[in-house]
Structure 1
Amino acid sequence: MGETYTAAGTIRLVGALAGVGSGLTKVAVGHGFDTIKTRMQCSPPGTYAGAIDVLKKLIQHEGVSALYKGATPPAVAWAAIDSVLLGSLYNYRLILRRHGMTEPTPEKGVERLSLLGHGIAGLGAGLTSALVATPVELLKVNLQLQSQRSSLDRQFKGPVDCIRQVVRAQGIRGLWTGSTGSFIVRGNMFWMFMSFEAFMRGFSALEGTQYEISTGLSNFLSGGLASFVFWAFAIPADNVKNRMMSQPLLSSIGPRDRSTRLPRRSFLSIARDIHAEEGVRGFLRGLGPTFLRAFPSNASALFVYEGILNGLGAEKTRH
């Protein structure tokens, strides 16, 4: 992410394969934590005493497999999201470099994208990827919130059924419910990629000292630490976004009567309710499991992404 890769004639294939590895790694490592976070954020106040209480009740009443409720949509689609995110990030960086947002490097005569440039490129990439990420997260949130042990008792029988019910109740635009929150959350990729580059430069400064570490470890640590920065800024909007996405589809009159569709509440309306009910603390729900998930999930995904590209023999180019 502070680096990109090219390989003549194979850039699209290499990027897609690396994106699949990165996306699946995020789901495998982090989805259980994400389920706990979503339950904490979207359940009525007082439902759970904390993350451990969510985990205990979830396993007790629904089984261990419930940690991976809603995992299918992100497992299938996260490759596309990461491809859009990383592909657009690279292009935004190139555009900013061409427009002079550079600074000299320690090596004389070499220009590199400034830290602010990395942040702006991350902002653009985050907003671009939100277009793909919003419907995937909508499915994930609604599937994660189903607490019934038996699938027969659940409103949504799976991702396809969830899509069908959302479209029937709200139209195709219903799949982008919560898009305002999604754009705000992913806009914080500004902090993610600016801090990632800052960490990478900090680790690079250790070269030649007794504390020198490998590039692979630098990528791993920088990705994990940058994810902490991202979520420190993004968690308030993430709370609002998930509540936007978990709104009921229809009133109780009847699921087949389109006239009973419920209006979608706005970002500001839900934010006001959170503040009125719980104060500032309401916007920090799920921060614990988010931080527990963030480092291993993002660090591992970046490590796998880099490893796949290296294994496929892609040429690495610093920009």
Structure 2
Amino acid sequence: MDVNKFVEFREKALENVGKVIVGKKNKIDKIMVAFICSGHVLLEDVPGLGKTKLAKSLAQTLNCSFKRIQFTPDLLPSDLTGIYYYNQKTLEFEFKKGPLLSQFVLADEINRATPRTQSALLECMEERQITVEGNTLKLGRPFFVIATENPVEQFGTFPLPEAQLDRFFIKLSMGYPSYMEEIDILDRYRENDPLEELTSVISLEDIEYLQSNYVYVEVKDSIKKYIVDIIGETRKHKNIDLGASPRATIALMKGSQAHAAIHGRDYVIPEDVKEMAPAILSHRIILKAGGGAFDNKAEEVIEDILNAVHTPLEEI
């Protein structure tokens, strides 16, 4: 495994996306980790913070085909997957592809669609396939979903069930820019939208290499035990009603491997686990009602667990 390819990927992607998105390098790092691990991302934020621009700039940077789907209550599963229609010229049924047959999909305001439509997206995310009228079509690689939801407006929405939340590799919030970042945004967007001039800097061959080789990053037994200790603590913490599943355990290990690789290491250290844990675990736990000082903030609970669990010493 050539770690330099992972470092080069991170540097190129950050520089290119940084032409459109001001700051947020830490968030973009985590999204790239999810992409390398063939996972999916849930962005929960108020409108206007650049979620759509981030998704478009990432797709352009990674040289991936891109489709944006605006989720609404009247959206049907067939609107996502595609349909078979009768072609009167050829006198045969033909398949018209839906937007899910793309490499990079932005599912905008996913919680506005009905559970039936959400389940169609769920099959694609988990099984890497779609089913249309009994016919199953395998999705190509890469296949990457960024879903967004607005945490403020809840009227007319269908909250994502816990089983579906667990399918997202990470959950992030972009947050507001700093004072100087917002000044930079005004300067950058004064005349033109930099997204219109963005070019691709990553090839599909590079992506295939990254997604196939990050698993060779070494995870020592002490790190495995550390990960399992963290997961175990989520299942007995006083403020948590339902702890993380074994799927979360695997995701935390894989996320730590990819995080180590893009930072130039072929082995995982505890800091990789600590960096990825809040984004990977916060949406996979259910907090107890009236969570005390934490006020039902899942990321704060995960941080509390990280502070409580013994950190192994780095082996030399």
Same fold (TM over 0.5): no
Query: Which one scores higher on RCO, CA 8 angstroms, separation ≥ 6?
Result: 1
For Structure 1 versus Structure 2, the TM-score category normalised by the shorter chain is under 0.3
**Structure (1 or 2) with the greater helix fraction:** 1
**TM-score normalised by structure 1 residue count:** 0.24
**Structure (1 or 2) with the greater strand fraction:** 2
**TM-score normalised by structure 2 residue count:** 0.24
